[in-house]
């Protein structure tokens, strides 16, 4: 039988996050703000489209 040689890779003792704790906090805050802004943007956009379609239906019928 053929012997298989395995390459052992050393793992670091501790895996660390590349983003600092203060960076994670500011990212989380930014993501929450962006989430609310995105929600309201699409809500208003959807309401405007409803108004546009209602006006078009009234004009063409």
Structure confidence by residue, pLDDT tens digits, 23-42: 667 777 777 777 888 889 99
This prediction has a pTM of 0.45
* Exposure string over 10-19, b if 16+ CB within 10 A, otherwise e: eeeeeeeeee
Please report which confidence band the pLDDT of residue 47 belongs to, taking 50, 70 and 90 as the band edges: very high
Confidence at residue 48, expressed as pLDDT on a 0 to 100 scale:
96
For 52, the token pair is 């546009």
**What pLDDT does residue 28 have?**
75
Asked whether the predicted pLDDT for residue 53 surpasses 70, the reply is yes
Residue 3, token pair as written in the block = 């012997």
- pLDDT at position 23, please? 63
CA atoms within 13 A on the CB side of 20: 3
């Amino acid at each position: 039988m053929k012997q298989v040689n395995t390459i052992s890779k050393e793992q670091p003792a501790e895996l660390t996050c590349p983003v600092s704790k203060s960076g994670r906090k500011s990212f989380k805050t930014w993501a929450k703000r962006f989430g609310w802004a995105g929600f309201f943007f699409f809500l208003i956009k959807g309401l405007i489209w409803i108004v546009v379609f209602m006006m078009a239906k009234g004009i063409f019928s």
